[in-house]
Amino acid sequence: MTRKPVTKRRKTASKDKAAKGKPFAHVKNPLVKAFAARLSNWRKDEGKTLKQMATALDLSISIICEWEHGRRFPSVDHLLDLSKHTGIPAWEFLRG
């Protein structure tokens, strides 16, 4: 049995754009883009770390990070928990 050679992944253009000061350039969906920006801005304005937020929501740091970068979107249950934790209505996170 022969193994296939391991190939390196190429950097995508979206990662290059994000590195040039456009943090949400790779996100296509405007709803996800708006959510990611609002969550990130709220957390930074409140002076909270990813770890503090993840602990409060009983989630991993990587999930919060993926939400903030627009790579994932929270389930309805997580969105409601986030709303309770932040004091911001869920619809406010979702408005475009």
Q: Residues 55-80: pLDDT tens digits?
A: 999 999 999 999 999 888 899 999 99
Q: Three-state DSSP class for 60? A: coil
Q: Domain of 87: which CATH number?
A: 1.10.260.40
* Tally of domains in the chain: 1
DSSP state of 71: S
pTM of the complete model: 0.69
Q: Is residue 4 part of a domain?
A: no
In this prediction, residue 61 carries a pLDDT of: 95
Mean predicted lDDT score pLDDT of the chain: 81
Q: Residue 27 contacts by C-beta under 8 Å, 6 or more apart in sequence?
A: 33, 36, 70
Q: Is residue 77 part of a domain?
A: yes
CB count, 10 Å around CB of 14? 14
Q: Is residue 86 part of a domain?
A: yes
Q: Give kind and range of the element (H or E) at residue 94.
A: helix 90-94
81-92 pLDDT per residue, tens? 999 998 989 888
